[in-house]
Structure 1
Amino acid sequence: MTATGTTLQVVQRVATNIVASFRRLARPIDWRKAFPWIEEPKPVLIGAAVALAVALAVMGLIDAGAARVAQRLPVWLLDLFNFVTDFGKGAWVLWPLGLFYLALAVLPRPTTRMSQAVLAAVMVRAGFLFAAIGLPGLVASLIKNMIGRARPGVGGSINPFLFDPFHWAPAFASLPSGHGTTAFAALAAFGTLFPRARTALLVYGIIIAMSRVAIRAHYVSDVMAGAAFGIVGVILVRRWFAALHLGFSIGPDGHIVQYPGPSVRRIKAVARDLLA
């Protein structure tokens, strides 16, 4: 077979696998079972009201003072936070996950059912991580531009209540913090699949949140809102996947049940099968 023919086969295989993945995600689900608060919204509304009250309290009592403290931080600490804060960008997580998923899609169909099941399980988990981190970040990016909250120092002063909705400019895209959303979505998503990593992920999330306030890119309430947005986004994506029986399921009591992942031994066996 020519190189052109082989390349065409690979492209067709990738396209087929990706289309099949999107079709699986687009299957109809029982929305009431997946999201029971559709019929009983009272707890959600109460939670939203409490969150709004906390946010307003932080805006009025903490935001301005924290921003002024950040102005007085030593240069070396600001340089450190300026370096660290870039690791809160979604690209650091989404690009590797996307490329990993494409690499899995390139692989030929395994020869045994066990190998097929293991490969499917790995692809589902990679897809969950990408969706659970990417979707909250995308929605947060839209919402922050619609809200139009000014970043610290915009307008020549520190005014936590300076808003210009639908301004669609970076200077007025402070709430919620995109970095905070990504960092805490990564914490919740990876922490769901790898519980032992939660402590390290929490440290990562907190450092990213601190860095955004320290370099005066955001107020404290911005990063708090971003953290909440990221975590809630992961919860919603997980319930969506559970309704589709992709890596999770919804138990009789409404709680999410996570399917056991493939062991390292089985993953190695699949790798040997594919390489053979």
Structure 2
Amino acid sequence: MTAHPPGALRAHLRDAAALLGVLALLLGSGLAFVLPWLPPQPPSATLARYAPLHDGGAWLSVNAQPDGRPRSWTSAGVELIPATQALVTRLRRAQAEAVLAFYGSPEQPADLGVALERLGATGAQVFRIGERELGATGLITDSVAVGIRAPEGDYTLGLYRPDVEQDLIFEPALLELPGDLAATRSWETSGVFAGALDYVFSGRVVAQGPYRGKAGSFEDCVEIETRLTLSSGGQPVQDLISRSWRCAGVGIVASEQLAPKAAR
């Protein structure tokens, strides 16, 4: 549990609350089906197979209310950033520091040379996903997620919303997907989010097989359930439970946000 000064905590909670909707979209929000804008890629290892990551990749998702009416539309694009550019020029300072912490620790980050060496030696990729959400009322929200695809899996380092120039960093990085979904059926990470909230993120493979839905028909898919719990001083602030279908060579084709009691 993390303690913070009351004034700073209120400010962090306000800023974090503004991005919880963004985080819900990244982890699966409402009921959505996704239409990739690029043709499917040949499957390879399990992570690349069910979560393909390509520079210039893009998708459009429709987030629906329980009655089927659209709540919002979200477009997103992927940018792979060369390691040196990421750490020296392309990432915001807080994001670059999160990369250094990933290869060291929040208390003792790796130096630039060590981080570059580790990124090169492991073949890890720094990526940035920009999203624009158009609400049914016409409200537009932009956001950016920064992460690392490492041999151990896909990690989300933090979120950024340009309109308020606010970085919200996970310490340590949140493991969104493990590197081998065939061997790892469940996973969990915990730490501090936005410097003010304690977080616990867990995921598990619920099912594997074909998917049939609005996004189309796919034979080789996995259904994944994730849960993100945010708390302050031991009191829950947010509990996000999502299920998503990820299909070989395509990635997410559908996702749904659940009430806590609906998780199985």
TM-score, normalised on structure 1?
0.24
**Greater relative contact order structure (CA < 8 Å, 6+ sep):** 1
Bigger strand share: 2
Give the TM-score normalised by structure 2: 0.25
Write 1 or 2 for the structure with the bigger share of helix.
Answer: 1
